[in-house]
Amino acid sequence: MLTYAKPLAAVAGCLALATTLTACGGSTAAADEKVVTVYSADGLKGEAGDGWYDKVFKDFEKQTGIKVKYVEGGSGEMVQRAAREKSNTQADVLVTLPPFIQQADSKGLLQAYTPQGADQVAGGDKAADGKWISVVNNFFGFVHNKKELTTPPTTWEELLDPKYKNKLQYSTPGVAGDGTAVLIKAMHDFGGKEPAMEYLKKLQANNVGPSSSTSKLAPKVDKGEILVANGDVQMNFAQSASMPNLAIWFPAKQGGKPTTFALPYAAGLVNKAPHAENGKKLLDFLLSEQAQREVSSVGGGFSVRKDVKATDTNAIELAKLMNGVEVFEPDWKDIDANLTSYVDAWKSATGS
Q: Residue 29's pLDDT is what? A: 52
Query: What is the rounded CA–CA span in Å between residue 310 and residue 297?
Result: 8
Under DSSP, the state recorded for 43 is T
Helices (H), the chain: 8-16, 28-32, 52-64, 75-84, 100-106, 177-190, 193-203, 217-223, 233-239, 276-286, 289-297, 313-322, 332-350
| Each residue's pLDDT expressed in tens, for the chain with a length of 352 residues | 333 333 333 333 333 333 333 333 444 455 668 999 999 999 999 888 999 999 999 999 999 999 999 999 989 999 999 999 999 999 999 999 999 999 999 999 999 999 999 999 999 999 999 999 999 999 999 999 999 998 999 999 999 999 999 999 999 999 999 999 999 999 999 999 999 999 999 999 999 999 998 999 999 999 999 999 999 999 999 999 999 999 999 999 999 999 999 999 999 999 999 999 999 999 999 999 999 999 999 999 999 999 999 999 999 999 999 999 999 999 998 998 999 999 999 999 999 9
Query: What is the rounded CA–CA span in Å between residue 99 and residue 76?
Result: 9
Query: What is the rounded CA–CA span in Å between residue 204 and residue 217?
Result: 17
Cβ contact 248:231 at 8 Å: yes
Query: What is the rounded CA–CA span in Å between residue 264 and residue 279?
Result: 19
Strands 265-270 and 93-96: antiparallel
Query: What is the rounded CA–CA span in Å between residue 229 and residue 214?
Result: 8
Q: Residue 3's pLDDT is what? A: 36
pLDDT tens per residue across span 202-230: 999 999 999 998 999 999 999 999 999 99
Cβ contact 255:264 at 8 Å: no
pTM of the model: 0.83
Which residues fall within 8 angstroms of residue 35, CB to CB, at 6 or more apart? 66, 67, 68, 69, 275, 278
Query: What is the rounded CA–CA span in Å between residue 154 and residue 254?
Result: 9
Q: CA distances (Å), 225 to each of 211, 218, 291, in order?
A: 15, 10, 35
pLDDT tens per residue across span 257-284: 999 999 999 999 999 999 999 999 999 9
Query: What is the rounded CA–CA span in Å between residue 34 and residue 268?
Result: 19
Q: Residue 10's pLDDT is what? A: 36
- Is the link from the previous residue into 153 a cis peptide, with omega within 30 of 0? no
